C-alpha cells in the first residue's frame, strides 16, 4: 500500500472543490493540515467514510519539533532517575531542597525531582527543559574563568554554528536595535552584570542561564559609518559543562523570552 508522505500526494486524492466545509479555504491547505495531524479526512464531505478510512491509513504524519523534544525529554528523564541528586547538587552549582535539585536560571529557581520532572514558578518549556537536563547529566563542575570564546570554537558547535549566528545572535541584535533601553532593562532585571571587555562594545553584559554556563553579550550600537553588531560569547569551560546543542536551545529560548516580554511591555505592543 503506497504511503502518502507530503501534501501534494494527499491533494491528488482529494476532490479539489475548495468548498471550505473542512474548515480551511482550499483542498491544498487541508492536505497540509492532514500531514501535520491537525485535521482528519472525515472532515471532507465529499469522501465516503470507507474511502476516508482507507486513505487515512496511508498518510504518514510529520513529526513536529514538540514531538522530537518530548522524545528527548523522556529519554533524559530516564537517565536522571539513576542519579544521586545529593551528589549532583554541589557538582553543578545547585542546591538540594526536600529531595529536589534547585537550579538557578537567570535568577529564578527551577526544581528537578528524582524522576526528572521539572517545576518552577516560571513557565517551563523545551527551550530550557532539554538544556537543564543535559546540564544535570553532563556538567563536570568546571568553574568559568572569564576566558571568552565564540560559540563556533566549542567542541561539536560546527553543526549548530549557523543556527546560533542567525537565530540567536542576529535575532537578539534586531531586538537591541529596535528596543535598546527596554531590552537592557530586562537583562538587568534578570541579573545581568556589566563588564569591561577588550572589544570596547557599547554594552557588555554577563548573564547566567545556568550556574556554570555564563553568556557574555556584546553590543555595538549603529552609527553613521557602521551598522550595529552583537555577539554572544561563551566561557571556554562550557565545553566541560554542557553540549553545543543545549547552548543553542538556551540562547534561542532567551531570545523568545525577550520577544514576549518586549511585546508585553513596549508602548506599541509590538516588536518592530
- Decide if domain 7-56 falls under CATH 1.10.15.40: yes
C-alpha cell at 129: 527543559
Rounded Cα gap, residues 126 and 261, in angstroms: 18
State the pLDDT confidence band at 118, using cuts at 50, 70 and 90.
Answer: very high
For residue 151, count other CB atoms closer than 10 A to its CB: 23
Fold of 148-265: TATA-Binding Protein (3.30.310)
pLDDT at 10: 82
- Which pLDDT tens digit goes with each residue over 155-169? 999 999 999 999 999
- Which pLDDT tens digit goes with each residue over 35-55? 877 788 888 988 888 888 888
Q: What is the pTM of this model?
A: 0.75
Cα angle for residues 127, 166, 65 (degrees, 5° grid): 35
pLDDT at 180: 94
State the pLDDT confidence band at 251, using cuts at 50, 70 and 90.
Answer: very high
State the pLDDT confidence band at 63, using cuts at 50, 70 and 90.
Answer: low
- Contact between 54 and 42 (Cβ < 8 Å): no
pLDDT at 270: 61
List CB contacts of 48: < 8 A, sequence separation 6 or more: none
pLDDT at 137: 96
C-alpha 33: how far from its chain's center? 24
Map out the domains of the chain as residue ranges. Answer: 7-56, 65-138, 148-265
C-alpha cell at 92: 553543578
Residue 122 has pLDDT above 80, yes or no: no
Amino acid at each position: 500500500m503506497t504511503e502518502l508522505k507530503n501534501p501534494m500526494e494527499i491533494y491528488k486524492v482529494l476532490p479539489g472543490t475548495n468548498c471550505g466545509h473542512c474548515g480551511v479555504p482550499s483542498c491544498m491547505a487541508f492536505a497540509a493540515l492532514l500531514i501535520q495531524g491537525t485535521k482528519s479526512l472525515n472532515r471532507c464531505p465529499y469522501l465516503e467514510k470507507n474511502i476516508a478510512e482507507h486513505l487515512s491509513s496511508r498518510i504518514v504524519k510529520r513529526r513536529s519539533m514538540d514531538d522530537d523534544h518530548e522524545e528527548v525529554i523522556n529519554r533524559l528523564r530516564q537517565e536522571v532517575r539513576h542519579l544521586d541528586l545529593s551528589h549532583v547538587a554541589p557538582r553543578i552549582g545547585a542546591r538540594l531542597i526536600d529531595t529536589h535539585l534547585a537550579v538557578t536560571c537567570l535568577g529564578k529557581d527551577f526544581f528537578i525531582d528524582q524522576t526528572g520532572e521539572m517545576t518552577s514558578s516560571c513557565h517551563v518549556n523545551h527551550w530550557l527543559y532539554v538544556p537543564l537536563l543535559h546540564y544535570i547529566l553532563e556538567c563536570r563542575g568546571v568553574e568559568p574563568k572569564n576566558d571568552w570564546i565564540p560559540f563556533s570554537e566549542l567542541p561539536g558547535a560546527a553543526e549548530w554554528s549557523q543556527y546560533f549566528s542567525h537565530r540567536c545572535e542576529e535575532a537578539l541584535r534586531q531586538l537591541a536595535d529596535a528596543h535598546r533601553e527596554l531590552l537592557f532593562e530586562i537583562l538587568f532585571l534578570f541579573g545581568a552584570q556589566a563588564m569591561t571587555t577588550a572589544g570596547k562594545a557599547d554594552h557588555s553584559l554577563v548573564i547566567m542561564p545556568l550556574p556554570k554556563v555564563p553568556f557574555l553579550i556584546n553590543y555595538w550600537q549603529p552609527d553613521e559609518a557602521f551598522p550595529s553588531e552583537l555577539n554572544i560569547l561563551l566561557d571556554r569551560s562550557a565545553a566541560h559543562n554542557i553540549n553545543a546543542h543545549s547552548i543553542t536551545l538556551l540562547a534561542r529560548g532567551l531570545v523568545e523570552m525577550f520577544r514576549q516580554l518586549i511585546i508585553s511591555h513596549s508602548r506599541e505592543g509590538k516588536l518592530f
